[in-house]
Amino acid sequence: MRHLLLRIALALFLLLTSLGTIVALLWAPTAASGQAARPEAPARRSETPAGRSETPVGTLTVAVATFGNERWLPHLYVGAEDVVLKPLWENLLSRDGKGNLIPMLAEKWQVADGGRTWKFHLRKGVRFHNGTEVTAEDVRFTFASIAREGSANSMAPEFRMIKSMEVEGSHTITVRFDKPFVTLGNRVTQGLFASVAYIQSKKHIEAGEDGAERRPVGTGPWKFVEHVHGDHIVYEAVENHWRATPHFKRLVFLKVPEPATRMAMLRAGSADVIEIGGEYVDELKKVGMRTLTMPNTAAIWVILGGQWPTKPTYDPKVPWAQPDAERARKVRVALNLAVDKKAIIERVLGGVGTAVGTVNYYPTDPWISDALLKPIPYDPARAKVLLTEAGYPNGFEVTMNLTAWPGRGFLPDVGEAVATYWEKIGLKVKRRPVDRAVFSADFRARSYAGVALAYAGPIIAPEPWELFARIAQTKSAVHLLVEHPRLDAFIERLGAEPSAAERTRIMREEMGPWLYEYMPAVSIGATHSIAGIGPKVGEWPLIPGHMGVHNWEYVTRK
């Protein structure tokens, strides 16, 4: 009896495993129930397609680290999804190769009342992928959705400042603000990372948000085909698109979290484009792969927590934020002098960056000057002298949080390098790996006095004060640099100045020098975004300062 049962159990087991194998092998090509098959990446090194033709041909396969929140409604995506969302949608404006605002869905626009009134004239005849024409009502609906309560959209606070929106005819909309909003154009442009004011179809979304989430439509050069959460997103080229018909027929995004796998996929021809960090640039070159460099897309600095003297969590014992302004400044200067920024850029960031002396200023900005650009020199001896003068001859204890941010996985390494430099001048640095979700609460509560951490601010707005208004103004929801009445005054003044030339002057001659002198953080410099590209990919025009891969529709085939 026992042998019989054993025999049955063994037979059943072998039968089931054999069946399972067969089923799995047959099943794989078409995937499983409720899930569409992942678009098959080429098993072998892909063949170079024939020369360029008018009709889109072939597939451009892109391996990225993350899809972000994977949401398709304007109040649900945050901005980090930029790379994978941008092919589908378009903004009212864009930026040209020099960074100037240019028309997109709006063919012209006017700014009046010192930046309080913005009038957009929409291009006629542009249609969503479901066939309906883009109208001013769609713009009003989109802006209202971004601003609605509970919205996750990173632009919600700014769009909530809209006082009224008036639709004139079907293709003109006037947006009014109580206070001047001189850089609204930078919020509604396609040409920046996380510029998620994409114009959505009111009709499509009002027909059912659930349906719109599962089958989004836009006006972009690529239409939605398929999305399997956490796995892949597939787009198809819109032929005869009003702006740019893509060169490739399909655009496939694969979520591949592991960078080494992305590298291997590029080399094997399973992916044509990969997101990659600077540390892989040398390796890519060694194996003969090309890189696409998007220069100066994020500014790196080390936040010195505690510089919020008006808040209840202010701690006067924090050396760099103590009430004695001169002593506090000496500490901040010492912390800057102690760090070799060029070495960090070379060794930690793979050489893809430029050391800059002023926080959130970039080498190519029109408001940069040689003096602002010049990195704070590496001078540990002088740093020790300053520390002694500030009353810390034996250094002090500091916590360095090692926190990674999406798309900026190098930050803990930068923090570690800075900690090591600080130790050389006598500081006792305690490393604390902290997840961003945990630390985000500290940002809001200003509860990290005495703690330092490396941060990289991507260019989500071209003018530095625009980012400061979000993260460094006394009234900002979060704090990531310094709260200071001078900086508040600069932000207020620049925010109300309609003349771009005058804003440039203020940033170059007043705000920049003040930041350089005050030294609120350890400014490391500007880093570049890097992508590895395979043999299929031809020319790729880029928008300056745009972090992350973009302009998919302009990528040519080789």
Partner 1 sequence: MWRYLTGRVLQTVLSMLVVISIVFFLTRLSGNPVHLLLDVNATERDQQILMHHLGLDKPLPVQYGIYVTNIFLGDLGNSVLTRRPVVEHIWERLPATVELGLVGMVLSVLIGVPLGMYSAVHRGSALDTGARVFAVLGQSMPAFWLGLMLILFFGVVLGVLPAGGRGGPLHLILPAFTLGYFTSAAIMRLTRSAMLEVLGSDYIKFARLKGLHEQVVLWKHGLKNALLPVVTFAVMLFVQFLGGAVVTETVFAWPGLGRLILESITTRDYPIVQAGVLVLSALYLTGNLLVDLLYSYLNPRIRHARS
Cα–Cα distance for residue pair 532/274, rounded to 1 Å:
5
Number of chain positions touching partner 1 (CB under 8 A): 79
Residue among 254 and 331 whose Cβ is closer to partner 1: 254
Q: What share of the chain is helix, strand, coil (3-state, %, to 5)?
A: 35, 20, 45
Interface with partner 1, residue 438, by CB under 8 A: yes
Interface with partner 1, residue 534, by CB under 8 A: no
Range 381-420, binding partner 1 (CB under 8 A): none
Q: Contact, 384 vs 330, CB < 8 A?
A: no
Interface with partner 1, residue 32, by CB under 8 A: yes
Cα–Cα distance for residue pair 383/451, rounded to 1 Å:
19
Interface with partner 1, residue 274, by CB under 8 A: no
Interface with partner 1, residue 255, by CB under 8 A: yes
Select the span of 144-152, 239-247, 512-520, 536-544 touching partner 1 (CB under 8 A).
144-152
173: β partners: 120, 167
Residue among 257 and 393 whose Cβ is closer to partner 1: 257
| Among the listed residues 112, 207, 260, 489, the single contact to partner 1 using CB under 8 A | 260
Output the smallest distance, CB 23 to partner 1, in A: 8
Interface with partner 1, residue 37, by CB under 8 A: yes
Range 153-172, binding partner 1 (CB under 8 A): 153-154, 156-157
Residue among 31 and 50 whose Cβ is closer to partner 1: 31
| Among the listed residues 54, 55, 149, 326, the single contact to partner 1 using CB under 8 A | 149
| Among the listed residues 440, 499, 502, 541, the single contact to partner 1 using CB under 8 A | 440
Interface with partner 1, residue 45, by CB under 8 A: yes
| Among the listed residues 150, 288, 312, 323, the single contact to partner 1 using CB under 8 A | 150
Cα–Cα distance for residue pair 348/365, rounded to 1 Å:
24
Cα–Cα distance for residue pair 437/124, rounded to 1 Å:
44
Q: Contact, 386 vs 334, CB < 8 A?
A: yes
Interface with partner 1, residue 41, by CB under 8 A: yes
Q: Contact, 200 vs 142, CB < 8 A?
A: yes
Place of tokens 């794989």: 28
> Burial of 108 by CB count in 10 Å (0-12 exposed, 13-18 middle, 19+ buried)?
exposed
Range 453-472, binding partner 1 (CB under 8 A): 470-471
> Burial of 253 by CB count in 10 Å (0-12 exposed, 13-18 middle, 19+ buried)?
buried
Cα–Cα distance for residue pair 22/398, rounded to 1 Å:
59
Output the smallest distance, CB 120 to partner 1, in A: 24
| Among the listed residues 93, 106, 162, 254, the single contact to partner 1 using CB under 8 A | 254
Interface with partner 1, residue 282, by CB under 8 A: no
Residue among 6 and 343 whose Cβ is closer to partner 1: 6
Residue among 28 and 343 whose Cβ is closer to partner 1: 28
Pairing of strands 232-237, 250-255: antiparallel
Q: Contact, 67 vs 233, CB < 8 A?
A: yes
Local structure of 486: helix, strand or coil? helix
Over the window 185 to 224, marking each residue x when it contacts partner 1 by CB under 8 A and - when it does not, the resulting string is ----------------------------------------
| Among the listed residues 62, 188, 197, 256, the single contact to partner 1 using CB under 8 A | 256
Output the smallest distance, CB 209 to partner 1, in A: 10
Output the smallest distance, CB 156 to partner 1, in A: 7
Over the window 74 to 103, marking each residue x when it contacts partner 1 by CB under 8 A and - when it does not, the resulting string is --x-xx------------------------
Compute, in degrees rounded to 10, the torsion defined by CA atoms 416, 420, 423, 424. -160
Q: Contact, 551 vs 60, CB < 8 A?
A: no
Interface with partner 1, residue 48, by CB under 8 A: no
Select the span of 176-184, 261-269, 301-309, 313-321 touching partner 1 (CB under 8 A).
261-269
Interface with partner 1, residue 437, by CB under 8 A: yes
Interface with partner 1, residue 475, by CB under 8 A: no
- Give the per-residue SS3 of 19-45: HHHHHHHHHHHHCCCCCCCCCCCCCCC
In terms of residues, how long is the chain? 558
Output the smallest distance, CB 176 to partner 1, in A: 22
Interface with partner 1, residue 480, by CB under 8 A: yes
Output the smallest distance, CB 117 to partner 1, in A: 24
Residue among 3 and 98 whose Cβ is closer to partner 1: 3
Select the span of 178-186, 248-256, 360-368, 530-538 touching partner 1 (CB under 8 A).
248-256
Alpha helices in 201-292 (DSSP H): 202-206, 209-214, 259-268, 281-286
Q: Where are the beta strands (DSSP E) in 28-139?
A: 59-64, 93-95, 101-103, 106-112, 117-122
Output the smallest distance, CB 471 to partner 1, in A: 7
Q: Contact, 217 vs 126, CB < 8 A?
A: no
Residue among 21 and 499 whose Cβ is closer to partner 1: 21
Backbone torsion region of residue 446, taken as left when φ is above 0, otherwise alpha when ψ lies between -120 and 50, otherwise beta: left
Interface with partner 1, residue 63, by CB under 8 A: yes
Interface with partner 1, residue 360, by CB under 8 A: no
Cα–Cα distance for residue pair 474/459, rounded to 1 Å:
21
